[in-house]
Amino acid sequence: MSCALGGIVVPFKEVIVVATQGVRSDPDVMMGKPIVEGTRITVEHILEELGAGRTIEQLLEAHPRLTREGVLAAVRFGAEVLRADVAYPTTKSVA
């Protein structure tokens, strides 16, 4: 088997692709809030559920299109947002 790349034919072996989920934002989906790719589940919802004591397994049972990779991508996204140089003042304690 081969693949044409810019006029060059490159031979390749068959590759098995494992589906992974990342985080995306689209203004037409969930008002632009970051969501787990392939779902309408917001990062905010996943973090709230985990913060309330739900396990990843419980989230996966409740949302069949969600994967473990999607949950972990949401957590990584949340950590990246908090690393930004933006302050998020709160009016009440969330702890």
Q: Give residue 45's domain range.
A: 21-83
Rounded distance between C-alpha atoms, residue 1 and residue 5, angstroms? 13
43 inside domain:
yes
48 inside domain:
yes
pLDDT string in tens for the chain (95-residue length): 444 444 555 454 444 444 458 999 999 999 999 999 999 999 999 999 999 999 999 999 999 999 999 999 999 999 988 887 666 666 766 56
In the structure encoding, which two tokens stand for residue 61, read together? 């049972």
Query: Which amino acid, one-letter code, is at 57?
Result: E
What are the start-end ranges of the H helices in 7-93?
43-51, 56-62, 68-83
15 inside domain:
no
45 inside domain:
yes
7 inside domain:
no
